[in-house]
Amino acid sequence: MMTEAITIGELAKRVNVATSLLRFYEREKILLPVGRTDSGYRLYRPEAEHTLRFVRSAQRCGFSLKDIKLILSATGEMSREYADLRKLTEQRFLDIEQRTTEMLVLRHELELFRDDLIKHLNRPAGEPTGEQFRDLIERACGHSQSLGRPSFTKLFECVGCKLADDDSRSLLSEFRGRHVHIWWDDDGYSILFAEPDAKLEQALKRLVQFEADCKAHPVLKVSSDKGGLLLHVGGPNAFIFGQIFLLLEFVKT
């Protein structure tokens, strides 16, 4: 076994980390050496590289060392332990998606602010300036304009939303290309359709009716607002609708 083991220096080099980090992981009982060389250098099994990469990836995703230790010690059996790990991972996924939505809404508001500023100054922005501004927002948000089916399917499934079903989610296709204004209220997201018509109103009513008994989105209502139609979604999972409608605006019909 010792002939196959790798030194702490070699392991650190393979994953591009400092040897001090490996010693820290040892103290935290995250990654333990299997022995030492005659010179006293720590030795690790070859599979330690895979474990170390997993730990670094989990940390980048925001998992704490306590969470990582729980994951590494899992037996893989269908037990309460497995259920806890799945719940932990899915909650982390939802946390990231919620922050993504907040950034998307911020980008949306910033673009509208830019348009208002141009009108206020009565000075159109040149094409290069507009492109640079757009690139700046894209870098700040780190999110592309796409309606990825697997991502939203996972979101719906995680929170137990009825729209997880493919046929049910076809309701959303009726909102493609619709211009919206979205903002965060104290208890959820408000989505304003400033150019309503009879087709849109019926689609919103069908959506509210469909979600009437959805435990994931207990607060979903539509009302008139200054000539437009306002959809309000409340509760901890409201961010999903905020993200969906913001992205649907840019999906061609």
Domains of the chain: 6-72 (1.10.1660.10), 91-248 (no CATH)
Instruction: Name the more confident of 149 and 109.
Output: 109
In tens, the pLDDT along 213-248 reads 888 888 899 998 777 899 999 888 888 888 888 888
Residues 98 and 27: their CA atoms lie apart, in Å, by 34
Strongest mean pLDDT among 46-50, 151-155, 187-191, 194-198: 46-50
pLDDT digits (tens, 9 = 90+) for 48-89: 999 999 999 888 888 889 888 888 887 555 566 667 777 888
Task: Provide the mean pLDDT of the chain.
Answer: 80
Q: Label residue 147 by pLDDT band (50, 70, 90).
A: very low
For residues 110 and 183, the answer to whether their CB atoms sit within 8 Å is no
Q: How confident is the model at residue 168 (pLDDT cuts 50, 70, 90)?
A: confident
Mean pLDDT on 175-190: 85
Residue 98 has pLDDT above 50, yes or no: yes
Task: Say yes or no to pLDDT of 122 above 70.
Answer: no
Helix axes 127-141, 80-121, angle to 10 degrees: 160
110 phi, psi to nearest 5 deg: -65, -40
- Structural tokens at position 29: 């009982």
Q: What is d(CA 197, CA 177) in angstroms, rounded to the nearest whole number?
A: 14
Element (H, E) at 42: strand 42-44
State which of 32-41, 141-150, 160-169 shows the largest mean pLDDT: 32-41
Place of tokens 């590289």: 49
Query: What totals of helices (H) and strands (E) does the chain contain, helices first?
Result: 10, 7
Q: Looking at the predicted structure, is the pLDDT value of residue 128 above 80? A: no
pLDDT value for 135 = 55
From the list 62, 69, 66, the residue with the least C-alpha distance to 96 is 62
pTM: 0.57
Least confident stretch, 57-61, 76-80, 106-110, 200-204: 76-80
pLDDT of residue 134 exceeding 90, the answer is no
> Rounded to an integer, what distance in angstroms lies between the CA atom of residue 174 and that of residue 108?
21
Q: What is the mean pLDDT of residues 193-222?
A: 89
Range 148-153 average pLDDT: 57
CA distance 9 to 40: 12
| Lowest-pLDDT choice from 50-59, 87-96, 143-152 | 143-152
| 20 phi/psi in degrees, rounded to 5 | -65, -30
Instruction: Report angle CA 238, 137, 130 to the nearest 5 degrees.
Output: 130
Mean pLDDT, residues 190-218 taken together? 89
> Across the strands, what pairs with 35?
43
Share of the chain above pLDDT 70, in %: 81
Q: What is the pLDDT of residue 252?
A: 61
